[in-house]
Amino acid sequence: MGFLITLIITASRIILVLVIAHVILSYFMSPYHPLRQMVDRLVAPLLDPIRRIMPQTGMLDFSPFVLIILVRVFEIVLIQLIRTMS
């Protein structure tokens, strides 16, 4: 069970780093830069459903913040389920 918990935590951290990198790169890097395109292709499938649900807020995009919260909640719930099963 410890391996599964470690795997969940690692996957969660990777997603969080990618989302934060996506936000930072969107401010400083051209949308045509290969690094930014790669990060966008990895993060966009996670952000697009949230963007469809959330109302437009002008120039601010809160979907990365919502995704970070959802990833953390999902991580905590999964780990608690695993711990109660063992």
Model confidence pLDDT, tens digit, residues 19-69: 999 999 999 999 999 999 999 999 999 999 999 999 888 888 999 999 999
Degrees, nearest 5: CA angle 50-11-56: 15
Q: For residue 69, give both structure tokens.
A: 């919260």
Contact (Cβ atoms closer than 8 angstroms) between residue 35 and residue 29: yes
Give the dihedral sign, CA 45/51/52/54: positive
Question: What pTM was estimated for this model as a whole?
Answer: 0.90
Q: How far apart are CA 82 and CA 5, in angstroms?
A: 8
Contact (Cβ atoms closer than 8 angstroms) between residue 8 and residue 74: no
Model confidence pLDDT, tens digit, residues 51-60: 999 988 888 8
